[in-house]
Amino acid sequence: MGLAWLSLLVALGGFAPRGADVVTSRRGDIRDFAVAARWVYVVTEDHLYQLDLGSLGLLHSLHQRGTYDVSSDGRLNRAALDGTGGGATFSVNTLAPLVDINVLLTCGAVGCGYCELLDLANVTRITHQEGYELGPIVPNNASVGFAVNLENQSYVLSATQGNAINDKGRLIIKEPHIRLHNTNKTQFGGLFSYTDKTRNPEIIARHQSVQFVDGFQINSTIFIFSNVNLTSEHPKVRLLWFQTKATKTQTLRSMQGAILDCCAGTARRRLVSSSVVPGDRSVLWTGIFTDHGTTDTELAVFDISPPSHTNSYRDPDFIFKDTKETQVGTKGRK
């Protein structure tokens, strides 16, 4: 991801300003990007850009400021391009292209959790808007979200770091979790739901301090990378594997894991970014590791091919949990 990131920054710097759609290249501006089909999607502080993959020319841009309407299911009414009428900013932390169904999913926060479904070919065509908390609602908190395919059904996997949120004097603790969300309202539970009939399966972390860095699916394996116990004396870089199965529960239950030890015992125990190298039979993966002070970085290549399944696997940092479904219906939807 490191190399691609650099070339994107350069490409964005090369844009000629077009009226209100000025793409700036300030480093801090680009928060995330995704490549799918013939397009590149770039999220900045307050815009979503769609570029042509071949030329990196700007095709569409979507302004993320507006007024948030809490009535109905939640809707961001975009501000006029002259900047008037926008008090809220949709801060995107999950950007997931769903190529099979021609949809770009964006989720994040406008004060509360919020998601939109956009036309993959033209992001200014918004097909669905809803107040739903899929990623973290604290802007800038780390999360990973990407499309996964379980036996021909599309889902969005969200891996969200934990949080302590002060809600009118009441401290709400949110555990770091991994969930599989529906992408179609015809799937059981409705759009975005992570329920699996009568249970709500998820992976939760045993400790609060988890930062998800990257994740992807290759054939029938889902890979997720995270930093665990970042703030402690003994931080670790963790890899989790899941086998894609018929249901969300079976898939999440198949979790296995490993600790990625980088650099011959030196203290580089934090993963900054990563990239996968597609291979024929093995999966090679490159990670950039750093020490606590992020002064010293090292690039390491691992063979992360999944191990054969063992039924008795117990992970030191993550655990499968499925609570019974208690609420059904739009407002209490899981």
Ligand X SMILES: *[C@@H]1O[C@H](CO)[C@@H](O)[C@H](O)[C@H]1NC(C)=O
**Contact flag: residue 141 with ligand X (CB under 6 A):** yes
CA dihedral over 55, 60, 66, 70, signed as positive or negative: negative
Q: Which of 91, 106, 160, 161 binds ligand X (CB under 6 A)?
A: 161
Q: Which of 58, 218, 258, 263 binds ligand X (CB under 6 A)?
A: 218
119: number of Cβ within 10 Å: 15
Strand partners, 171: 166
- For ligand X, the closer of residues 82 and 233 by Cβ is 233
Contact 288, 223 (CB under 8 A): no
Scanning 36-44, 226-234, 269-277, 324-332 for contacts with ligand X by CB under 6 A, the matching segment is 226-234
**Contact flag: residue 149 with ligand X (CB under 6 A):** no
Q: Which of 55, 71, 166, 219 binds ligand X (CB under 6 A)?
A: 219
CA 152 from centroid of its chain's CA atoms: 21
Scanning 197-205, 227-235, 293-301, 320-328 for contacts with ligand X by CB under 6 A, the matching segment is 227-235
Task: Name residues contacting ligand X, limited to 60-99 (CB under 6 A).
Answer: none
* Closest approach of ligand X to the CB of residue 228, in Å: 7
* Closest approach of ligand X to the CB of residue 142, in Å: 6
**Contact flag: residue 316 with ligand X (CB under 6 A):** yes
Scanning 19-27, 70-78, 276-284, 307-315 for contacts with ligand X by CB under 6 A, the matching segment is 276-284
**Contact flag: residue 101 with ligand X (CB under 6 A):** yes
- Contacts of 218-225 spanning 24+ positions with Cβ under 8 A: 218/276, 218/278, 218/283, 220/244, 221/283, 221/306, 222/148, 222/157, 222/251, 223/276, 223/283, 223/285, 223/304, 224/144, 224/157, 224/159, 224/178, 225/260, 225/271, 225/274, 225/287
Question: Pick from 73, 79, 41, 81: which is nearest to 60 by CA?
Answer: 41
Scanning 15-23, 75-83, 136-144, 251-259 for contacts with ligand X by CB under 6 A, the matching segment is 136-144
Contact 136, 160 (CB under 8 A): yes
**Contact flag: residue 124 with ligand X (CB under 6 A):** yes
Contact 285, 301 (CB under 8 A): yes
* Closest approach of ligand X to the CB of residue 278, in Å: 7
Q: Which of 2, 29, 56, 122 binds ligand X (CB under 6 A)?
A: 122
**Contact flag: residue 152 with ligand X (CB under 6 A):** yes
**Contact flag: residue 138 with ligand X (CB under 6 A):** yes
Please state, in angstroms and as integers, the Cα–Cα distance from residue 15 to each residue in 4, 10, 26, following that order.
Answer: 17, 9, 13
* Closest approach of ligand X to the CB of residue 213, in Å: 12
**Contact flag: residue 125 with ligand X (CB under 6 A):** yes
**Contact flag: residue 166 with ligand X (CB under 6 A):** no
Q: List the strands of the sheet with 221-228, edge to edge.
A: 210-218, 221-228, 236-243, 256-259
Q: List the strands of the sheet with 112-119, edge to edge.
A: 91-98, 103-110, 112-119, 122-130
Scanning 13-21, 105-113, 121-129, 250-258 for contacts with ligand X by CB under 6 A, the matching segment is 121-129
What residues line the site for ligand X (CB under 6 A)? 101, 122, 124-125, 138, 140-141, 151-152, 161, 184, 186, 207, 218-219, 229, 232, 234, 279-281, 283, 316
